[in-house]
Chains A and B, each alone.
Chain A
Amino acid sequence: MTRLGLRLGALVGIGLVALAHVGSPDTYFEGAAGPYPVRVVVRNPGVVPGLAQITVRLLAPHAVRRVLVLPVFWDPRTAAPPPADVATPVPGDSTLYSAALWLMSSGSYSVRVTIEGAAGTGTTLVPVLAVATRRLALDKPLGAALLALGAFLCAGALTIVGAAVRESGLEPGAEPDRGRTRRSRIAILLGALVLAFALIGGRAWWNAVDAAYRSGLYRPLHATAAVQASAAASVLHFTIDDSSWANRQRQWTPLIPDHGHLMHLFLVRARSLDGFAHLHPLPLDSATFETALPPLPAGPYRVYADIVHESGFTETLVATAEIGSPATAWRPSDPDDAWLSGNVKREKGNVVPLADGSTMTWERADTPFVVDQDAPLRFTVTGPDGKPAALEPYMGMAAHAMITRDDGAVFVHLHPAGTISVTAQETFVVRQPGDTVQGELSKRLAAMEMASGDRKAVAAGEVSFPYAFPQPGHYRIWVQVRHSGRIETGVFDVDVRAAR
């Protein structure tokens, strides 16, 4: 295998731990539950059925009576949901509430968060994916303790069998004769044989359960990417070649557009991270997508494709692509496409220049970033005149942030609403009992989209993203905003420490 092959193989391996994002299984949401602005964090249990921990933080001072959470697995035949759980206040933090969510089936849940308080009752829906993502290892102390107990049980059982044959039938005080002692030894031998078979059977059973569980671990749909270069232009073909997707009897629901696009595709130049593109391929058929490739520098690229199913299930498909000599001309397939290349300055600093002369500043203190702790991802954009820049919605969002660890083990696409797909959230809002015909829901969504238009207002010059880094390491962040009709990308680096 060539070095390139090895490298691409390692990159494909990343897909095995991917979820709706890659290597970042927890859900972060920021939005309004009626009159109450909230930040909701759901920690993925990694196993289904399992318990996910949910925290709800009130972002504005309000008198709150109760916070209720309810995970709903949508099924048109369900009679009634169970009662919601009351989230309990976290001691020492008057604005934080927490509860455990019972996620019993693999798939797409909407978690209904209800706030009851002085300002009335407010509700919001947070899409959460329940999928098994990891297999817990049996740690050594527990394994050793279980082994010791198991050995004691086996030895004890054989001792009891021996004692039962040797002595239990004797009158009190009588001593066992040689015949009884011999029979007792035979019984122990037979017992050991039975026990050995039972242990071998038990081991086979455990291994079978383990193998079945491993085969059920979530993997995103398999996909491949290929670049077709011609004198005029380079084109990227992205193909979902997973057999479960091609199968007509498939369980998958169709794809639905997420802020106007069926697929959001990101290219990140492997290792150096100095080539980046955010593209929106057009579908050629249900499995193949195509996009014009911007003149990115040559090299191996990681390809991430965000898709949303009608069920509300979101996935990030992972592939790799080798880009040859950069394309000489580029006509974007979609006006929302954007790219960036060149040796980005990696010096420390919170202020980066944008292409149009304005600047983007990461409003961060000097406190270190720690795994699983709220990361202050707040950015301000200042125009060339020194005033806060007037930002315009970019695909319905105030901003987009793409975060990757340098080795590609983490890739996440964030909005000010968090890690969730707003479209997935809307699918839960517009769902009706009896929605069993595929495609009906996306029609309703499209009608809703038409009616509302590009409605998101953007605060002048400021965007923020709720998130916590999932793993330690060196990360790069691309923040994209629209300003004066142009898509501007600010690039930042950060080191994240392990939690102690």
Chain B
Amino acid sequence: MRGAATLAAPPAARLPWYVAATLVAATSAKVGIIWDISWHRSIGRDTFWTPAHAAIYLGGVLAGLACGWLVLRTSFAGTTEQRAATVGFWGFRGPLGAWVCIWGAFAMITSAPLDNWWHNAYGLDVKVLSPPHVILALGIWAIQLGSLFLVLSLQNRSPAQQAPRLYGLLAAYVVGILLQNAATIGIEQVGFPNVAHNAVYYQVAAGALPILLVAAGRAVRLRWPATTAALVYMAFSLVMIWILQLAPATPKLAPVFNPVTHMVPPPFPLLLVVPAVAIDLLMQRVGPGRDWRLAALVGLAFLAAFFVTQWFFTEFLLSPHSHTFLFGVDHWDYSSRPGPWRYRFWRAETDPVTPRALAIAAVLAVVSARLGLWWGNWMTRLRR
């Protein structure tokens, strides 16, 4: 009966073991991805058995085993109450988030032999974006989304005004990791400060980021949900930047144009906390029921705050004042040829920020915000 109480209506901020396991899994996979990218930029050469790969696959294994065990136990030895807070899957019972995690683990398992064959057939990581890597990325997203669904179902089963703050914080934490995913995938478009004076920078950010921030704003029961998620994203980046810079590394693949001595950190994070505050303020004032109007307001506010912040902050990041351990900028791949391009805005002539480009970005931001509201609304109803 104790287990039933845990699943049905947690009286206090008690975190079930399987939810904790998926949170660790989501974190491990994300750390592994950032580590692996740094590995390829600093050392170049890898095998399946690098610690970065181990962290990624640990995420899959941990989430898969924890949720697998949960659904087996619930299906075959669960009490009526335990089974009541689950959804069905081919005769088995388990929370929706657990099924999403299990699916993610299988996707990661599928990607491993395919990726190995791919390397033997077409060459070692010729391109980052390849079908096996996409399957792996889908698996990682699934594990993180599954973890978010598990936390939100706990939060949503709590009485409306009494949901433990821990659930809100953990949900915002997972959204912060999802923001990290978006930043990782868009590293070429929105990663480096050198591209912050391009139209594509604002269009990609406007399309990809409001959906996550707004969904958090709607579904996470905190006073400042989007801001918290943005802070998590930034803190995650900074911790990785600081730790990776401390680790010695030597390039092991020719040609070496830039003899790096330490792990190359990821780019400095976007200052997402600024537009996130704007989103939270607007969402506090415009409640549910006026979502189209809210989407328009939030989308435009996001773009305005993001544009002003990033336009000027990236100028600082390209200046000598930011070349410190704290900011971790001006670290480049071993295979890049050092030159003045490091301190310039790239493609400023070919892809300038024009009123038309900003208008497209604004439309994308509004659409993204509207999608975020739909998704957030669905997540507020998540009970199982």
Contact = CB atoms under 8 A, between A and B. Distances in A.
Contacts of B123: 47-50, 132, 213
Interface in A93-150: 102, 104, 132, 135-136, 138, 142, 145-146, 149-150
B3 interface: no
Interface string B130-149: 11001000000000000001
Interface in B54-90: 81, 84-85, 87-90
A172 B124 contact: no
B255 A73 contact: yes
Contact of A104 (B157, B254, B259): B254
A49 B124 contact: yes
Given A48-B123, A149-B106, A170-B383, A138 B117 contact: yes
Nearest to B121: A136
Contact of B121 (A47, A83, A156, A170): A47
Contacts of B113: 142, 145-146
Contact of B384 (A79, A102, A150, A167): A167
Given A138-B117, A160-B100, A171 B383 contact: yes
B262 to A, nearest CB: 16
A371 interface: no
Contacts of B384: 167-170, 172
Given A50-B123, A153-B103, A164-B96, A78 B257 contact: yes
A239 B259 CA distance: 45
Contacts of B117: 136, 138, 142
B106 A153 contact: yes
Given A81-B254, A160-B103, A49 B126 contact: yes
B125 A49 contact: yes
Say which size band chain B's interface belongs to: 35 or more
B88 A102 contact: no
* Residue with the highest number of chain A CB atoms closer than 10 Å, among B44, B45, B255, B337: B255
Contact of B131 (A79, A136, A160, A202): A202
Contact of A136 (B114, B120, B157): B120
Contacts of B309: none
Contacts of A352: none
A168 B96 contact: yes
Contacts of B102: 156
Nearest to A169: B381
B293 interface: no
A167 B87 contact: yes
A115 to B, nearest CB: 21
A75 interface: yes
Contacts of A135: 121
A164 B103 CA distance: 14
A159 interface: yes
A206 B257 CA distance: 32
A434 interface: no
Interface stretch (B178-186, B245-253, B263-271): B245-253
Given A146-B114, A150-B110, A213 B122 contact: yes
Nearest to A132: B123
Given A145-B113, A160-B89, A82 B250 contact: yes
Contacts of B124: 49-51, 102, 104
Nearest to A213: B122
A83 B250 contact: yes
Contacts of A47: 120-123
A152 B90 CA distance: 12
A79 B332 CA distance: 14
Contacts of B44: 82
Contacts of B110: 146, 149-150, 153
A426 B99 CA distance: 62
B8 interface: yes
A269 interface: no
A209 interface: yes
A155 B122 CA distance: 29
B308 to A, nearest CB: 37
Contacts of A171: 383
Contacts of A138: 117, 121
A149 B109 contact: yes
A376 to B, nearest CB: 32
Given A49-B125, A135-B121, A206-B131, A83 B99 contact: no
B256 interface: yes
A205 interface: yes
B211 interface: no
Interface in A211-230: 213
Contacts of B258: 79
A206 B134 CA distance: 12
A166 interface: yes
A352 B254 CA distance: 49
Contacts of A79: 255-259
Contact of B253 (A80, A82, A142): A82
Contacts of B7: 172
A72 B8 CA distance: 64
A71 B254 contact: yes
Interface in A62-88: 71-73, 75, 77-83
Contacts of B382: 168-169
Contact of A80 (B131, B149, B256): B256
A173 interface: yes
Nearest to A150: B110
Given A150-B110, A153-B103, A209 B130 contact: yes
B137 to A, nearest CB: 13
B96 A81 contact: no
Contacts of B157: 172
Contacts of B96: 160, 163-164, 167-168
A226 to B, nearest CB: 38
A351 interface: no
A169 B106 contact: no
A138 B122 CA distance: 12
B90 A159 contact: yes
A317 to B, nearest CB: 26
A157 interface: yes
Nearest to A51: B124
A172 B256 contact: no
B296 to A, nearest CB: 27
B109 A102 contact: no
Interface in B144-159: 149, 153, 157
A159 B71 CA distance: 15
A163 B253 contact: no
Contact of B259 (A80, A159, A166): A80
Given A142-B113, A172-B81, A172-B157, A163 B87 contact: yes
Nearest to B381: A169
A102 B123 CA distance: 11
Interface of A: 47-51, 71-73, 75, 77-83, 102, 104, 132, 135-136, 138, 142, 145-146, 149-150, 152-153, 156-157, 159-160, 163-164, 166-173, 202, 205-206, 209-210, 213
Which A-B residue pairs are the 4 nearest by beta carbons? A163-B87, A136-B121, A169-B381, A173-B84
26 contacts: A47-B121, A49-B126, A73-B255, A75-B255, A79-B256, A81-B254, A82-B44, A83-B252, A102-B45, A104-B254, A136-B117, A136-B120, A142-B113, A145-B113, A146-B114, A156-B103, A157-B103, A160-B100, A168-B153, A168-B382, A169-B381, A170-B383, A172-B7, A172-B85, A172-B384, A213-B122
Given A138-B121, A167-B96, A209-B130, 9 more contacts: A47-B123, A51-B124, A135-B121, A149-B109, A153-B103, A153-B106, A156-B103, A156-B106, A163-B88
